[in-house]
Amino acid sequence: MLIYNSQTHKKEEFQPIEEGKVRMYVCGPTVYDQIHIGNARTFLSFDVIRRWLIACGYEVTFAQNLTDVDDKIINRANEQGRTAEEVAAEFSAAFIEQMRRFNIMDPDIRPRATKEIGPMIGMIKSLIEQGHAYAADNGDVYFSVRSDPAYGEVSGRKVDDLMVGARIEENEDKRDPLDFALWKAAKPGEPSWPSPWGQGRPGWHTECAAMVHRYLGTPIDIHGGGSDLAFPHHENECAQATCCWHQGFANTWMHTGMLLVDGEKMSKSLGNFFTLKEVLDQHSAAALRLLMLQTHYRSPLDFSWERLEGAENSLERIATCMENLVWAAKHASGKADAERAAALIAAAEHAAAEFEAAMNDDFNTAGAVAAYFQLVTEANTYLDEVGGDADEEACYACSAGIAGAFAVLGVELREPKEELPVGLLGVAAGLVGYTGDSVDEAAEAVLAARAEARAAKDWGRADAIRDQLRDMGLVVEDTAAGSRIKRA
Ligand SMILES: [Zn+2]
C-alpha cells in the first residue's frame, strides 16, 4: 500500500510501526460553530482511509480531539453573552451529531482539551527543564523555535526564510519573534486553570501533541489534517513532541486538499459558505460522500449543488441496477447464455481488482468509484441484452460486488424498494381466484391476468387491473426482462 507522505513529498510503501496495527490521529475541530463542508471533507477523507485500513486487516486505533478551549470559543461566548463552556458543550454535541449523520465512524478515543490540562502542563514543564521553552514575565510560556534544529521539516520550511517571509506579530514577551505560545496567561473572565506560571490555558499546538502522546504513544503511524494545518500547527505539534520525548512524532503526515464552491474559495462574504448541517438537511449523506470521494483527497475538490444532485442520480442508478440484478436472478429462466454470464462475472472480478489497486495507491477513491460505475454500466447492458434469461450466479456476483465496494466507502445505498403489499393476495383472488399466500405468486397471477386481458384486447379489464393496483400505490413496469409490479 502506497501512501503519500506530505513531509517527504513522496508516495511511500506503508510500513506500520507495529505489525498489523495502525495508530492514527486526526486533528479535530475547534467547537465554536457548526463545521463547514471543507472541514467535513477532511474528516470524510480520513474516515475512508481508516475504513480501508480496517478492510485490509489492520487493527486501527483512531484518535481525534475536540478543541474545547480557544480564542474563537471565548469570542463567540462573549458575543452571545454565554460562558465559553456553554458554547463548547453545544458545538461539541453538534459536531458529533453531524459526523454521525455523515456516516463518519466515531473515533476510538475522543479526548477533550479541557480534560487533559494536567498532561499538557507536565509536557510544558519538561520542555522548560530541557531548555526548549521559557516562561515570560506576563505568565505566557513560549517554545523556543531555534532550540529545535529540526524545526521546519514537517512543512518543508527553513527557519531563516520564516524570519524573512513571515509577518510576525510584535510581542515583547517573546525572546524570538518565531517562538510560539505553549501556555497562555488568562485574561479576566476567560476559562483558566492553575499552573506553575499562574492561571492560564494551553496553546492549541500543545493540546494535540500531549493527547497524541498520552493516548497513542509516539511515534504514531499516521497524523492527518487539512492542508492548512501543516504550518504552523503540525510543525509546532511535532517540534514540541520531539523535543520533549526524543522520539519521532509521526511516520506519515497526510494532508487533505481544500474545498472550493463553484470553483471559488468558500467564504462567508461571497455567500458560498455552507455548513455540513445545511447540506445534510437537503441531501443524503451518501450523495455528499460520493461527490467528495470522486475527487482524490489531496486534490482541490469542487463542490456545487449541481454536482451533488448528480451524485444523488448516480446513487439511484446504482441502487436500481442492483435491484434489477436481484430481480433478474430471482426470475432467471435457467436458459442463460454461459459465455455472456462468464463475461459479466469477469467484469465483476475486474472491478474488484481495480478498486483494490486504486485504494492501495494512496487511497485513490476516484479511481475506485469509477471501477464500479463501469461495472454498473456493464451490468445494465447485460440485463438489457439477455432479457428474462439472466444468469443467477453472474447477477448475484455483480450485485454483491457493488454492495461490498460502496459499503467499504461508507456510502450507504438505499434499500431495495420494499416487498409488495399483502393486499395483492386479495386482488389476485378477485381476478383469478388465487388462493395461496405468496405475495410474489399473487403478483405473477395479476400480471398473467393483465397480459391475458391485453392479448384479448379487453381494455376494460386491463384498465380495471391497473386501477386496482394504483389504489394500492403500485404500478406495472414493462422491461426487456418482462413485466413486474412495483411500488410507484
Ligand atoms: Zn492538531
Strands 250-256 and 220-226: parallel
111 Cα–ligand 1 center, Å: 12
All CATH 3.40.50.620 domain ranges of the chain, comma separated, are: 2-131+147-155+204-282
pLDDT at 461: 93
Kindly state the cell numbers that stand for 92.
461539541
Residues constituting the chain: 488
Distance 158 CA to ligand 1 centre (A): 21
Banded pLDDT at 245 (limits 50, 70, 90): very high
Query: pLDDT of 400-416, one tens digit each?
Result: 999 999 999 999 998 87
Question: How much distance in Å is there from the Cα of 234 to the middle of ligand 1?
Answer: 6
Q: What is the C-alpha separation between 26 and 160, in angstroms, rounded?
A: 29
Mean pLDDT (whole number) for 54-81: 96
Contact 408, 351 (CB under 8 A): no
How many A from CA of 87 to the centre of ligand 1? 20
Ligand 1 centroid–CA 31 distance in Å is 13
- Inform me whether the pLDDT recorded for 166 exceeds 60: no
* The pLDDT of residue 270: 85
Cα(187) to ligand 1 centroid in Å equals 24
Cα 204 to averaged position of ligand 1 atoms, centre (Å): 7
| Angle value at C-alpha 348, between 346 and 353, nearest 5 degrees | 95
Residue 172: the pLDDT is: 77
> Measured in angstroms, how far is the CA atom of residue 216 from the centroid of ligand 1?
14
Separation between Cα atoms, residue 155 and residue 173, nearest integer Å: 26
CA of 102 from ligand 1 middle (Å) equals: 22
Q: Give the Å distance between the CA of 209 and the centre of ligand 1.
A: 7
CATH 1.20.120 residue ranges of the chain are 311-408
* CA 333–ligand 1 middle distance (angstroms): 59
pLDDT tens, position by position, 452-463 = 999 999 999 999
Q: State the residue for C-alpha cell 500531549.
A: 210
Q: Are 60 and 22 in contact (CB under 8 A)?
A: yes
What does residue 75 show for φ and ψ, rounded to 5 degrees?
A: -60, -45
Residue range 2-131+147-155+204-282 in CATH 3.30.930.10: no
Q: How far apart are CA 94 and CA 420, in angstroms?
A: 39
Ligand 1 centroid, distance to 251 Cα (angstroms): 15
Q: What does pTM read for this prediction? A: 0.88
Distance 208 CA to ligand 1 centre (A): 4
The overall average pLDDT reported for the chain is 94
Q: 303: CA distance to ligand 1 center in Å?
A: 25
Amino acid 165: pLDDT = 53
Mean pLDDT of 239-247: 97
Please, are residues 439 and 424 in contact by the beta-carbon 8 Å criterion? yes
CA–centroid distance, residue 141 to ligand 1 (Å): 19
Cα-flanking dihedrals φ and ψ of residue 456, to 5°?
-85, 5
Q: Above 90 in pLDDT, residue 417?
A: no
Q: Is the pLDDT of residue 124 over 90?
A: yes
Q: How far apart are CA 350 and CA 56, in angstroms?
A: 18
Q: Is the pLDDT of residue 117 over 70?
A: yes
CA of 155 to the centre of ligand 1 (A): 14
| Residue scoring higher pLDDT (329 or 59) | 59
What is the third-level CATH fold of 311-408? Four Helix Bundle (Hemerythrin (Met), subunit A) (1.20.120)
**Any idea which of 202-206, 270-274, 373-377 has the lowest mean pLDDT?**
270-274
For residue 108, what pLDDT is reported?
Answer: 98
Cell (9 digits) for 178:
518565531
The answer to whether 63 and 73 are in contact (CB under 8 A) is no
Which residue matches cell numbers 418482462? 482
pLDDT computed for residue 96 by the predictor? 98
